Chain A
């Protein structure tokens, strides 16, 4: 497609710093500075010298036209549509995460089911990486922190051509503090950058752990990968996306490109692929990691589904139904005798209870240890 971009409001959203960062990253060299007005860059290509005059002040009356002129030149030199160039410039301030079907062959319409599945898997993978950026754990349960929720809420879906199997996500990277020339790779990173870096590390580590698991026929490699951000949730998400992409190709490819405005000098852009053969390993790894997790001091809201004995002979053993991560799970509990009456009353009246305890996976469900702060929730 050769779509032209002529919307002045859209063009005005492109900051000069983004244009300059893209031009410099594309081999353009600074030729002149017009004080308080513009930076002129040049590039020799196709046998001639090209010039890009980048305006500095976004409030200048001709700003949109002047940016359009740069878009026009780039579209011609890079043999892309103006819309495509515009998208690139609009995303310069963000880390770009691309997820697509491996060896995907175009020519078949992208179904809503496929797009929805890929999107849901991407949200889960990003959330798992962000949670690991806070604290690496074998598995995550329950609501996300405000920081992780904020990170996910600020991820933008870049528009894509209608016939592509690629999902492009943009994670904006805030500007560093004015006094920092370039923020260091590991200190004072904005959380969004920390999360995308963890995502890149987790993708690499998962890929390496799969290779090791195939080699050794054991899943220990995933335990070691946990510190890089790999978790049961992350493995499940990557597995789901790889499986989803089955319709179009052999597995999944994930790329991460760092914002040109905030490059990471010591980390190369990430490029990892997973084949359909990896899906089973990822599912096994997810179960393996989840079995290692303990979720301490979880707040539980539950229905008393079953008492293992009649109320008259109740020994404290009950099965609760609890919604965990949007699914109803069975949770086994052994209550102390001081709580028998409360549990029996909740079961008889079919009202909810709330309590705290330490959750440990068991089969498809969980066991709740050290139940405490039990009370009936009268709705």
Chain B
């Protein structure tokens, strides 16, 4: 397993932990659909759904106005697609540079270090860039219960 795979798996675990704690679950679908890495829905219910693409990085992309994350151009164009039925967001999980610091555990707590952020790109213009497009994720967009609740509430079109 490469460090890249470990990063990806860890980011999915992070997303799942936050989601379950907020009352949502990762749909156990093995459908590898374009840029969609996973789909969240309320525990015990089938909808609404929030699709996501998960990214993780140990690099320091944080600036004062947000996280400047270089996103593959195909992923960008999928995420901005206004035809998608459900919210489809980018979730970037920032990780400590040293792997041993990603997680710490004792008999009283389990700690996943640093933080995940999300961004909706729906309706942005397509990029014609050759490789990637840098997106800026506001630091308020923490992937947490409050924001996930809000995303789920916005899933139906009256709020989209």
Query: Do A60 and B84 contact each other (CB < 8 Å), given the known contacts A34-B157, A65-B51, A73-B46?
Result: yes
One digit per residue, 1 when the CB lies within 8 angstroms of any chain A CB and 0 when it does not, for chain B 61-104 equals 00000000000000000110111111010000000000000000
For chain A, residues 54 to 77, give those with C-beta under 8 angstroms from any C-beta of chain B: 55-57, 59-66, 68-69, 72-73
Chain B binder among A35-43, A87-95, A106-114: A35-43
Contact indicator B36/A61 (Cβ below 8 Å): yes
Contact indicator A37/B85 (Cβ below 8 Å): yes
A204 interface residue, CB < 8 Å from B? Answer: no
Give the chain B neighbours of A55 by CB distance below 8 A. 85
Query: Do A57 and B157 contact each other (CB < 8 Å), given the known contacts A8-B31, A65-B51?
Result: no
Give Cα A6 to B35, complex, Å: 15
Give Cα A37 to B156, complex, Å: 11
Interface size counted on chain B using CB atoms at 8 A: 25
Number of A-B contacts (CB under 8 A): 77
Give Cα A57 to B84, complex, Å: 8
Contact indicator B83/A60 (Cβ below 8 Å): yes
Give the chain A neighbours of B140 by CB distance below 8 A. none
Give Cα A51 to B88, complex, Å: 20
Give Cα A220 to B46, complex, Å: 61
The distance from the CB of A344 to the nearest CB of chain B, in whole angstroms, is: 74
Which of B27, B46, B81, B157 meets A61, CB within 8 Å? B81
Query: Do A66 and B32 contact each other (CB < 8 Å), given the known contacts A51-B47, A53-B47, A73-B46?
Result: no
Tell me the nearest residue of chain A to B155, going by C-beta: A53
The distance from the CB of B31 to the nearest CB of chain A, in whole angstroms, is: 5
One digit per residue, 1 when the CB lies within 8 angstroms of any chain A CB and 0 when it does not, for chain B 116-159 equals 00000000000000000000000000000000000000001100
One digit per residue, 1 when the CB lies within 8 angstroms of any chain B CB and 0 when it does not, for chain A 6-44 equals 111001000000000000000000000011111000000
Contact indicator A65/B83 (Cβ below 8 Å): no
Tell me the nearest residue of chain A to B84, going by C-beta: A60
For chain B, residues 38 to 59, give those with C-beta under 8 angstroms from any C-beta of chain A: 39, 46-47, 49, 51
One digit per residue, 1 when the CB lies within 8 angstroms of any chain A CB and 0 when it does not, for chain B 18-30 equals 0000000001011
Query: Do A6 and B88 contact each other (CB < 8 Å), given the known contacts A61-B35, A69-B46, A73-B46?
Result: no
Contact indicator A37/B31 (Cβ below 8 Å): no
Contact indicator B47/A37 (Cβ below 8 Å): no
Which of B33, B46, B78, B157 meets A65, CB within 8 Å? B33
Contact indicator A65/B81 (Cβ below 8 Å): no
Give the chain A neighbours of B30 by CB distance below 8 A. 6
One digit per residue, 1 when the CB lies within 8 angstroms of any chain B CB and 0 when it does not, for chain A 117-151 equals 00000000000000000000000000000000000
Binding site for B on A (CB under 8 A): 6-8, 11, 34-38, 51, 53, 55-57, 59-66, 68-69, 72-73
